[in-house]
Amino acid sequence: MQFSKVTLNEAQKQSKCNSFAIHKTMRATVVHVSRYDFTTDDNKHLTGCKITFLGDAVSTSTAKGREAVTASAPIAVFDRFSQVPAEYDLDVTFKRSPEGQPVLKVRDAMILASAAK
């Protein structure tokens, strides 16, 4: 899982607009998928799924191995995961939250033919 660095200019950093997004297809080992369906304290109904996959391997003086990465997705994406764990091509979007934090969302998933059994 390799991502290219994206540098925001000062206008984008200071903007309150959340329209800046990067769309990418990436290959990843999905290790866990779960649905959620609940009502928040302020009475908002939320549904979706949480997807956990393995990040790039690292080997430094402070970290070794592959870190788990978690992303959310619409509830319909849950049924795309016919086998877990397995290798998938994930259609992902990176954007900023209203607070300026990076947000990763999975828009779709397709199991690799070599992983399907």
Is the pLDDT at 30 greater than 90? The verdict is yes
For residue 46, the enclosing domain spans: 15-111
Provide the pLDDT for residue 64: 95
Residue identified by tokens 């790039």 is 56
Average pLDDT for residues 52-66, to the nearest whole number?
A: 94
95 in a structural domain? yes
Please report whether residue 3 resides in a domain: no
| β-bridge partners, 38 | 46
Per the structure, the count of domains in the chain is: 1
Contact criterion met (CB below 8 Å) for 106 and 76: no
Within a domain: residue 27?
yes
Instruction: Give me the residues paired with residue 80 across strands.
Output: none
Is residue 43 in a domain? yes
Round to whole Å and give the CA distance between 56 and 81.
21
Residue 52 dihedral angles phi and psi, to the nearest 5°? -115, 130
In a domain, 116, yes or no: no
Whole-prediction pTM value?
0.77
Could you report the per-residue pLDDT of 72-91, keeping only the tens digit for each? Answer: 999 999 999 999 999 999 99
Percentage, residues of the chain above pLDDT 90 = 69
The dihedral built from the CA positions of residue 27, 77, 75 and 91, taken in this order, carries a sign that is positive
Q: What percent of the chain has pLDDT over 70?
A: 81
**Which residue do the tokens 């540098």 mark?**
7
**Which CATH number does the domain housing residue 34 bear?**
2.40.50
pLDDT for the residue numbered 98: 86
Residue 20 CA to residue 42 CA, distance in Å, equals 28
Residue 88 lies in a domain: yes
